[in-house]
Amino acid sequence: MTSIMKRGQAGCQKKKRKAVGIVVDSKKLSKRPNDRIGPQTFVKYIPSRQVRSYSNRYASNHNLDKLFVWKQLSNMKYLYTLLFIAPFTYPNMATPITLASLLSFYVALLSVSCLVVSGDYVNFSKYVLPQGVFGPESAAFRTVGVLVSEGPYTTTTDGRIFRWQGSNIGFVEFAYTSPHRTRRFCDGNTDPEKSPICGWPMALSFHQATGLLYIADAFYGLLVVGPLGGLATQLASGFKFTPGLDVDLLTGNVYFAVASTTYDIRNISQPGFKGDSTGMLLRYNPFNRQVTVLLTGLAGSSGPAVSSDGRFVLVPELLAKRIQKYWLVGPKANTAEVFLTLDGNPNKVKRAANFGEFWVAVSVGFIPPAPIIVPKGVRFNSNGVALQTVPFATQFYNKTISIVQEQNNKLYVGSRRTNFIGIYSN
């Protein structure tokens, strides 16, 4: 895939025009052997001058609005969803994932842009949670169909996961993590002492090819829920504090963090909290259901992110104010190095829209505590070079933030201390 991306980018730079790639049915693979990027996919590059005619044909073949398709193809950067075939099921899930259902999954889009576009994100709006519900620390989007995504999906402190269904409906309950929770005891809960019963989901990540939503719960570990929601299925447990995760789109492996083996989330707000360096980065293989410890000795590890090409995982250390890079392949495979040092406490890292770039949510003055907490988002590339900083102090004054998720040229910002997801646009 890396070689194809480089080839597409090189052609783009030479001709000074945009190239768009479409992932289509694998039956045509024999005609395009050089464009294979996986066992079931290949890429077709289209010069910008042909985008309109191609989008019209694509819209007609798939019963989509022509103008909508054309705008999507013209405006997108590095959006991609790859097709994976995996005949497996999870017990107790609302919808089993079968080979037949996946064969009908006809995805998606990959585009390569000559220009890196970034703005100041000066416009602000918000999606407000239902009354009495707090702590949206995640903002995950699910790809449905070819050009449409739904969400954001977000977590709350009372053990539930909500899905945004438009301004007329707002957030609706989608799933929950604890089999012991009751509405009377848990709904609207913000007391960490109740969380071992109610659950406290803190991070979400979709495996787009299957529609499975993976969940990191502070007390219930790693879980998964199907497209119909409901009670999530526990996959890995026994951890003190599980704050973040990410799904590798190329392999389906799930990388998740354990912040500590000695303290849990209730200890962080206690006077004199200092933390330790017992955090871990782990990998869950959904095919054999094995959990592997990849990295130990982390100082408050939080939400990891897998690179788009699957070469490495970035894992932030909240207490050490840095991000580490753990190599998955290549000559440095199975080793780690300090990747980026920050002036504040980093929480979740998320892939950005531009290929090879990331966003991290940073709270300056969180630990050790300062008189004022200053939240911001930092965008950086695969070499650890900071490219952009976006301040959020006006709308999130003196509050920590947990996530900065880029989607459709907007930044979705979540915080444990609010009842809304902030949305920044240009």
Tens-digit pLDDT profile for residues 167-207: 999 999 999 999 999 999 999 999 999 999 999 999 999 99
Q: Give the tokens for residue 316.
A: 């932030």
Q: Picking from 239-243, 268-272, 274-278, 303-307, which range would have the lowest pLDDT averaged per residue?
A: 268-272
Counting DSSP H helices and E strands in the chain, the numbers are: 7, 29
| Distance from C-alpha of 315 to C-alpha of 325, rounded to nearest angstrom | 7
Check: CB of residue 278 under 8 Å from CB of residue 259: no
Identity of the residue numbered 100: A
| Distance from C-alpha of 2 to C-alpha of 203, rounded to nearest angstrom | 28
Stated as kind and residue range, the H or E segment containing 195 is helix 195-198
Q: What is the mean pLDDT of the chain?
A: 81
Query: Quick one: pLDDT at residue 292?
Result: 98
| Distance from C-alpha of 242 to C-alpha of 260, rounded to nearest angstrom | 8
Chain segment 237-267, per-residue pLDDT in tens: 999 999 999 999 999 999 999 999 999 999 9
pLDDT band at 66 (very low <50, low <70, confident <90, very high): low
Name the nearest CA neighbour of 201 among 140, 150, 160. Answer: 160
pLDDT of 70 over the 90 cut: no
Strands (E), 87-228: 109-112, 123-128, 140-144, 148-155, 160-164, 171-176, 201-207, 212-217, 221-225
pLDDT of 16 over the 80 cut: no
pLDDT band at 58 (very low <50, low <70, confident <90, very high): low
Place of tokens 């977000």: 154
Q: Picking from 39-53, 141-155, 186-200, 252-266, which range would have the lowest pLDDT averaged per residue?
A: 39-53
- Percent of all residues in the chain with a pLDDT value above 90, rounded to a whole number: 68
- Mean pLDDT throughout 281-296? 97
Check: CB of residue 111 under 8 Å from CB of residue 71: no
pLDDT of 340 over the 70 cut: yes
- Mean pLDDT throughout 130-140? 97
CA dihedral 337, 342, 344, 350 (to 10 degrees): -70
Q: Give the tokens for residue 319.
A: 């207490």
Q: Picking from 14-28, 115-129, 180-194, which range would have the lowest pLDDT averaged per residue?
A: 14-28
| Distance from C-alpha of 79 to C-alpha of 96, rounded to nearest angstrom | 27
**Distant-in-sequence, close-in-space partners of 167: CB < 8 Å, separation ≥ 6:** none
For the ranges 44-53, 63-72, 97-106, 238-247, the maximum mean pLDDT occurs at: 238-247
pLDDT band at 87 (very low <50, low <70, confident <90, very high): very low
Place of tokens 């829920």: 225
**70 or 203, which is more confident:** 203
| Distance from C-alpha of 21 to C-alpha of 54, rounded to nearest angstrom | 11
Measured on CA atoms in the order 302, 303, 305, 311, is the torsion positive or negative? positive
Quick one: how far is CA 214 from the chain centroid?
Answer: 10
- Mean pLDDT throughout 84-94? 36
Query: Quick one: pLDDT at residue 69?
Result: 52
**Distant-in-sequence, close-in-space partners of 267: CB < 8 Å, separation ≥ 6:** 273
Identity of the residue numbered 256: F
Give yes or no for a cis peptide into 152 (omega within 30° of 0): yes
Chain segment 308-333, per-residue pLDDT in tens: 999 999 999 999 999 999 999 999 99
With residues binned 3-state (H G I as helix, E B as strand, rest as coil), the percentages for the chain, rounded to 5, are 15, 40, 45
pLDDT of 104 over the 50 cut: no
Check: CB of residue 277 under 8 Å from CB of residue 298: yes
| Distance from C-alpha of 192 to C-alpha of 339, rounded to nearest angstrom | 33
Q: Picking from 106-110, 120-124, 153-157, 247-251, which range would have the lowest pLDDT averaged per residue?
A: 106-110
- Mean pLDDT throughout 49-68? 58
Query: Quick one: pLDDT at residue 148?
Result: 77
Task: Order across the sheet with 140-144: list the strands.
Answer: 140-144, 148-155, 160-164, 171-176, 230-231
| Distance from C-alpha of 63 to C-alpha of 73, rounded to nearest angstrom | 16
Query: Quick one: pLDDT at residue 59?
Result: 57
- In DSSP terms, 2 is beta-bridged to none
Query: Quick one: pLDDT at residue 111?
Result: 29
Q: Picking from 2-11, 108-117, 366-375, which range would have the lowest pLDDT averaged per residue?
A: 108-117
Query: Quick one: pLDDT at residue 270?
Result: 82
Mapping DSSP to helix (H, G, I), strand (E, B) and coil, where does residue 9 land? helix
Query: Quick one: pLDDT at residue 231?
Result: 98
Burial of 409 (0-12, 13-18, 19+ CB in 10 A): middle
| Distance from C-alpha of 9 to C-alpha of 29, rounded to nearest angstrom | 22
Task: Order across the sheet with 374-381: list the strands.
Answer: 345-351, 357-364, 374-381, 386-391
Query: Quick one: pLDDT at residue 84?
Result: 32
- Mean pLDDT throughout 225-234? 97
Name the nearest CA neighbour of 246 among 380, 107, 349. Answer: 349
Query: Quick one: pLDDT at residue 51?
Result: 59
Query: Quick one: pLDDT at residue 39?
Result: 35
Measured on CA atoms in the order 191, 192, 196, 202, is the torsion positive or negative? positive
For the ranges 98-102, 110-114, 234-238, 366-370, the maximum mean pLDDT occurs at: 234-238
Query: Quick one: pLDDT at residue 420?
Result: 98
Domains of the chain by range and CATH?
2-112 (no CATH), 123-425 (2.120.10.30)
